Amino acid sequence: MRRVSVSIETEKVQSEQIEIALPGTGTKTFRPGITAREALTELTGPLPPEVFAVRIDGQPGDLSAPLNRNATLEPVTFASEDGKEIYRHSSTHIMAQAVKDVFPSANLTIGPAIHEGFYYDFSFERPFTPEDLEKIEARAHEIIQENYAVRRLEMSKEDAINLFREKEEAFKVEIIEQIEDDVVSLYQQGNFIDLCRGPHVGATGQVKAFKLLSAAGAYWRGDERNPMLQRIYGTSFPTQAELDAHLEKLEEIKRRDHRKLGKELDLFSSPEDTGPGLILWHPKGALVRLLIENFWRESHVQNGYELIYSPHVARLDLWKTSGHVDYYKENMFTPMTVEAGEYQLKPMNCPFHIMVYKSHLRSYRELPIRYGELGTVYRYERSGVLHGLMRVRGFTQDDAHIFCRPDQIESEVRKVLDFTMFVLRRFGFTEFALYLSTRPEKAVGAVEKWDQATEALEAALKNSGFPYEIDPGEGVFYGPKIDLKIHDVLGRAWQCSTVQIDFNNPERFGLSYIGEDGAAHQPIMIHRALMGSLERFFGILIEHYAGAFPTWLAPVQAIVLPITDKQAEYASLVKDRLAGTGLRASMDLRKEKVGLKIREAEKAKIPYMLVVGDREREAESVSVRKRSGTNVGTLPISEVIDLIRQDMPTEPLTGSSVH
């Protein structure tokens, strides 16, 4: 193999002595070139084994990194988010080394750490089988036991290209060719070397509990026009106990998978014949959706919103004016031609709401105007990313747009936040995380207006008292936003709610209102969604409740189960009594044993099972059993109705005081 120039990462020595600080410990003077590990050891004593990396002035780095300037150090462990990323990215290198050892013809592509795990994509002649994963995992455990030192190397871009060409790693060559820097970094452990920015653990033996999970296909760079790769997923933890707990959580996630439960409970489907990413709502699922929609509409009217409806298509020019053609085109379906004009399936509802606003001359006294719509939109998503209800091509947004004066922004955003919390809590979510997303690279509008909008959002967040984080560069192209993530019963975070400030569209569409001074002024537009999309929110609800919806959302709230045919007439009377009070009741008149009927009702997640035999018929009562398996006992029908109603929410529909 051709000799290449390799050197350990260094920095220009700036002085004869440098000062290294450790928060809470103090500062010491060292010679330039001392490693982060040596400096930490001098400052704290021998490093505990759980420390495997370091932050140098807040930036993650290798313990072997040389220090040539004054710096502040912080030890990194698995407890921190950057620690988890370093640990799992190091794990993905262990997996890649194992794959190359077991299947030398496999080619390397990329292998990042992801939430609670990692993956690596390989170019291989066939999909990896479960037997392959067993062999790879066994080799990975050997690599961990062999405890190879992990070394960071630097070389010129040209030498790196030659290195990977000689290794016949074409994907690595392609990646390096697109790097702008003249020098690139690599990491080596044993005979394995990979292109990588790092940092990494110091030795493979620092990764303790390691597990491969699954294999799947993935296109190179996520583009179906590129070669199909083989992706292997895995995870790793510092202890076997933590890994075991995580694996149990994964099993629980599988049990709660909305696609599996959606089929078992007959809630929805997405048959190939209708097209990928297009959902059919079955009667039970449609009933739950109706309950969600009814709550949504009633609460919005109570909170000062006016409801509107808009078409599914519009002239393409509308989307040119809004900026979607310029900034969102890759997510839009191909326009259709109608009578020599171009029409577009709507990817968003906002231009229609703007046109409703424009239909009248507006006064400052009318503002704020709040329009709400359950509007179905269509977005092109690549087939590889479609996922049940969570990622679809046609979905209904719980959309609303608020047109207000600049002095009303903060108060309106606060009301939206209060309303959002009220709605999400009604569905059983109590833990939230809020993020303020700022101007992205690809944005429209003056920086001054972006700053004004961002300041208004941040002021609303601060005054609301909700804790939040800054998410730099993650705003939409027309303005900054607040994103709210809910945490489900398994602790997973889901992006649902969003509040976005838009100075751009009011300007593009020439919106105005007559101010108190008699002159025309431009309103501010606030885009907001509370649940996001009904499809995705429904999928989250299924997994949050494992299909056992709260009683107010359950498609069937109670089922009457006669023991024999002799109680069929009485069972029908009980069902009608419940239905007459507005409860959703059914009955099972099959000639089956009541034990089987109970088991099937529990499997169907029906909250209440009402068993009736001769004694219940004679006493005009029922024997009540909950889906949890609890036997409530025998109660008169009127008390059963009261019992079920106790499970129903009674609080008012207003989430904040709106005037």
Same domain flag for 477 and 365: yes
* Average pLDDT of the chain to the nearest whole number: 92
Average pLDDT over residues 141-156: 97
Evaluate the omega torsion of the peptide bond into residue 199 and state whether it is cis, within 30 degrees of 0.
yes
> Given 88, 527, 544, 597, which residue is catalytic?
527
Show contacts of 219-227: CB within 8 Å, 24+ apart: 219/384, 220/109, 220/121, 220/123, 220/171, 222/382, 222/384, 222/385, 224/382, 224/383, 224/384, 227/123
Task: With respect to residue 221, please indicate whether it lies within any of the assigned structural domains.
Answer: yes
Query: Which of the following is catalytic: 350, 439, 536, 544?
Result: 350
Q: Is residue 3 predicted with pLDDT exceeding 60? A: no
Q: Per the residue annotation, which of 93, 172, 439, 481 is the catalytic one? A: 481
**Active-site annotation holder among 139, 152, 324, 379:** 379
Of the residues 62, 121, 159, 399, only one is catalytic, namely: 399
Query: Tokens standing for 516?
Result: 């108190």
What is the C-alpha to C-alpha distance for residues 155 and 163, in angstroms, rounded to an integer?
Answer: 10
pLDDT tens-digit readout, 344-402: 999 999 999 999 999 999 999 999 999 999 999 999 988 778 899 999 999 999 999 99
Active site residue 196: no
Order the strands of the 558-562 sheet from edge to edge.
585-587, 558-562, 608-612, 621-626, 631-636
141 a catalytic residue = no
Q: What percent of the chain has pLDDT over 90?
A: 82
Q: Cα–chain-centroid distance for residue 522?
A: 35
Structural domain contains residue 450:
yes
Residue 549 lies in a domain: no
Per the domain annotation, does 588 fall within a domain? Answer: yes
Residue 325: inside a domain: yes
Range of the domain at 119: 81-256
Residue 528 to residue 508: CA distance in whole angstroms: 19
pTM of the model: 0.85
Would residue 397 show up in a list of annotated catalytic residues for this protein? yes
For the chain, first and last CA: distance in Å? 77
> H or E element: which one contains 96?
helix 81-102
The helix (run of H) or strand (run of E) holding residue 218 is strand 209-219
Residue 360 lies in a domain: yes
- For the chain, the residue count is 659
Q: Which residues contact 519 (CB under 8 A, 6 or more apart)?
A: none
Q: Is 658 a domain residue?
A: no
- What CATH code is carried by the domain that includes residue 427? 3.30.930.10
125/212 same-domain check:
yes
Catalytic residue, chosen from 300, 401, 414, 415, is 401
What is the rounded average pLDDT of the residues 611-638?
Answer: 94
State pLDDT tens for residues 484-497.
999 999 989 998 99
208 belongs to a structural domain:
yes
Catalytic residue among 97, 189, 230, 397: 397
What does the DSSP assignment read for 355-408?
Answer: HHHHTS--BGGG-SEEEEEEEEEE----GGG-BTTTB-SEEEEEEEEEEE-GGG
pLDDT tens profile 125-135:
999 999 999 99
Our measurement of the distance from residue 77's CA atom to the centroid of its chain's CA atoms, rounded to an integer in Å, reads: 25
Give residue 452's pLDDT: 85
> How many C-beta atoms lie closer than 10 Å to residue 58's C-beta?
9
Confirm whether 379 is a catalytic residue. Answer: yes
Known catalytic residue at 360: no
Q: Give the pLDDT of residue 76.
A: 96
Q: Which two tokens stand for residue 330?
A: 């890759």
